[in-house]
């Protein structure tokens, strides 16, 4: 399969593809990757959705593009949504293939067009519960889809409990031309005075991200190396608990709390730090980790279940517990040459598996196999 099939899509089928529901801007990146291949791909996103799911947060001003469509919010009581849902179904039905993200399948399943479902995580739990009418609609959307695409191995235990025609592990596309190793930003230069700089872009969430595990592990690492420093982003449901934990551990002066960063600042911070530390509970990586790898930074994270999807070792510094995080922090802070070697391989691996061309080629082949 490969480029011959892409050429066939462009010149023979002339498919128009819609991505619906821009969760965490992953759908936008898919659309950008497809358009780079010459595909007429469009994005539909809901007004009033989370700021991180707004196209303008990813790329300021991009919402003006003709291939981006803002629709009215599909929230509130289901009985009050009928007109908005009908309008949405009508607009999305103009496309040949539809990719629906997160809870989007609940609505666009009514288009009667080939449907691919992309799971973000929480949507699987909602479909399994099927406690409300909306959740039952979502589950029905899963069952009607050509296939469900998932990105995290830990989701498989939930997928096995749903009646899905086909489930496919895939990868999120990241623009390798925008995320690349470069000099750190002057804006974050003040953080470099501390020595080895670790950066955690994840929200403060003890249940799903393990923020408290990281803080405790970092506190232990400080006993061995006082020159290290940790930068974290000041947001999340457990922010107050994390701040209190830092105070209790007496490490407040060894952590810098950054405001929520826009995307360009986030990229600059990846390039300004020495190491990225991500999440330590679910065992899966998301777009933030790949963005950091693209920028040539080592990523410390808990991983499990990926080996069967890759023929080579993943470049992450994988840890399984608090002690593992502590050991990784100490090792990376003391061995600059190893940091650079891991960073170089991280970039190469990310480009190989997560570049726009790599992911969009795999996606287009999937459409030809199962949806056309």
Confidence of residue 128 (pLDDT cuts 50, 70, 90): confident
More confident residue, 13 or 69: 69
What pLDDT shows up at residue 368?
86
Calculate mean pLDDT across residues 232-256. 97
Are 231 and 167 in a shared domain?
A: no
315-369 per-position pLDDT tens digit: 999 999 999 999 999 999 999 999 999 999 999 999 999 999 999 999 999 998 8
User: Which residue carries 């990719």 as its tokens?
Assistant: 99
Considering the domain boundaries, does residue 148 fall inside one? Answer: yes
Flag whether pLDDT at 188 surpasses 80. yes
Are 339 and 308 in a shared domain?
A: yes
Q: Number of folded domains in the chain? A: 2
Closest among 245, 244, 235, 231 to 277, alpha carbons compared:
231
Closest among 290, 287, 326 to 198, alpha carbons compared:
326
Considering the domain boundaries, does residue 180 fall inside one? Answer: no
More confident residue, 135 or 239: 239
Confidence of residue 246 (pLDDT cuts 50, 70, 90): very high
Confidence of residue 126 (pLDDT cuts 50, 70, 90): confident
Are 149 and 195 in a shared domain?
A: no
Flag whether pLDDT at 160 surpasses 60. yes
Considering the domain boundaries, does residue 277 fall inside one? Answer: yes
Are 215 and 126 in a shared domain?
A: no
What pLDDT shows up at residue 6?
59
Flag whether pLDDT at 227 surpasses 80. yes
What pLDDT shows up at residue 5?
56
Considering the domain boundaries, does residue 268 fall inside one? Answer: yes
- Token pair of 222, please? 């400080």
What pLDDT shows up at residue 184?
86
Are 349 and 363 in a shared domain?
A: no
Are 163 and 218 in a shared domain?
A: no
Calculate mean pLDDT across residues 67-79. 81
Flag whether pLDDT at 75 surpasses 90. no
The rounded Cα 268 to chain-centroid distance in angstroms is 18
Calculate mean pLDDT across residues 216-220. 98
Considering the domain boundaries, does residue 178 fall inside one? Answer: no
More confident residue, 53 or 122: 53
Are 303 and 283 in a shared domain?
A: yes
Considering the domain boundaries, does residue 79 fall inside one? Answer: yes
What is the CATH number for 319? 3.40.50.2000
Are 83 and 160 in a shared domain?
A: yes
Domain range for 214: 186-354
Task: Give 235's contacts (C-beta < 8 A, 6+ positions apart).
Answer: 203, 204, 260
Confidence of residue 91 (pLDDT cuts 50, 70, 90): very high
Q: What's the pTM?
A: 0.92
Calculate mean pLDDT across residues 231-257. 97
**On the CB side of 104, how many CA atoms lie within 13 Å of its CA?**
31
What pLDDT shows up at residue 136?
87
Are 15 and 120 in a shared domain?
A: yes
The rounded Cα 248 to chain-centroid distance in angstroms is 32
Flag whether pLDDT at 233 surpasses 70. yes
What pLDDT shows up at residue 197?
97
CA dist 195 → 227, 228, 334, 336 (Å)? 5, 6, 10, 11
More confident residue, 345 or 145: 345
Are 112 and 227 in a shared domain?
A: no
Calculate mean pLDDT across residues 94-104. 92
Are 116 and 248 in a shared domain?
A: no
26-67 per-position pLDDT tens digit: 999 999 999 999 999 999 999 878 888 899 999 999 999 999
* 251, 180 Cβ separation under 8 angstroms: no
Q: What whole-number percentage of the chain has pLDDT above 70?
A: 94
Calculate mean pLDDT across residues 186-211. 93
CA distance 77 to 39: 36
Flag whether pLDDT at 125 surpasses 80. no
The rounded Cα 39 to chain-centroid distance in angstroms is 23
More confident residue, 138 or 222: 222
Calculate mean pLDDT across residues 263-277. 96
Considering the domain boundaries, does residue 18 fall inside one? Answer: yes
Are 62 and 130 in a shared domain?
A: yes
Considering the domain boundaries, does residue 121 fall inside one? Answer: yes
What pLDDT shows up at residue 371?
64
């Amino acid at each position: 399969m490969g480029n011959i099939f892409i050429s066939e899509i462009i010149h023979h089928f002339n498919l128009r593809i819609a991505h619906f529901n821009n969760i965490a801007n992953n759908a936008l990146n898919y659309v950008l990757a497809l358009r780079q291949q010459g595909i007429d791909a469009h994005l539909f996103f809901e007004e009033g959705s989370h700021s991180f799911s707004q196209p303008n947060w990813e790329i300021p001003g991009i919402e003006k593009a003709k291939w981006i469509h803002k629709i009215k919010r599909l929230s509130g009581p289901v009985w009050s949504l009928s007109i908005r849902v009908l309008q949405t179904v009508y607009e999305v039905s103009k496309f040949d293939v539809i990719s629906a993200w997160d809870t989007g399948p609940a609505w666009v399943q009514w288009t009667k067009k080939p449907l691919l479902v992309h799971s973000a995580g929480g949507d699987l739990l909602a479909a399994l519960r099927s406690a409300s009418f909306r959740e039952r609609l979502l589950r029905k959307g899963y069952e009607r889809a050509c296939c469900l695409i998932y990105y995290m191995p830990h989701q498989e235990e939930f997928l096995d409990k749903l009646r899905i025609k086909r489930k496919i592990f895939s990868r999120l596309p990241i623009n390798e031309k925008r995320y690349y190793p470069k000099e750190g930003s002057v804006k974050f230069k003040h953080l470099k005075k501390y020595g080895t700089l670790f950066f955690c872009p994840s929200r403060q969430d003890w249940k799903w991200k393990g923020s408290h595990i990281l803080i405790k592990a970092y506190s232990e690492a400080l006993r061995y190396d006082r020159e290290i420093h940790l930068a974290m982003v000041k947001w999340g449901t457990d922010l107050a608990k994390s701040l209190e934990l830092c105070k209790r551990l007496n490490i407040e002066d060894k952590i810098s709390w950054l405001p929520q960063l826009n995307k360009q600042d986030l990229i600059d911070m990846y390039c300004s730090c020495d190491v990225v530390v991500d999440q330590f509970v679910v065992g899966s990586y998301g777009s933030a980790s790949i963005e950091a790898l693209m920028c040539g930074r080592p990523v410390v994270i808990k991983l499990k279940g990926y080996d069967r999807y890759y023929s080579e070792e993943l470049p992450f510094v994988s840890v399984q517990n608090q002690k593992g995080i502590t050991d990784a922090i100490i090792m990376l802070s003391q061995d600059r040459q190893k940091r650079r070697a891991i960073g170089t391989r991280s970039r190469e691996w990310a480009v190989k598996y997560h570049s726009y061309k790599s992911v969009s080629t795999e996606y287009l082949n999937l459409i030809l196999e199962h949806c056309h």
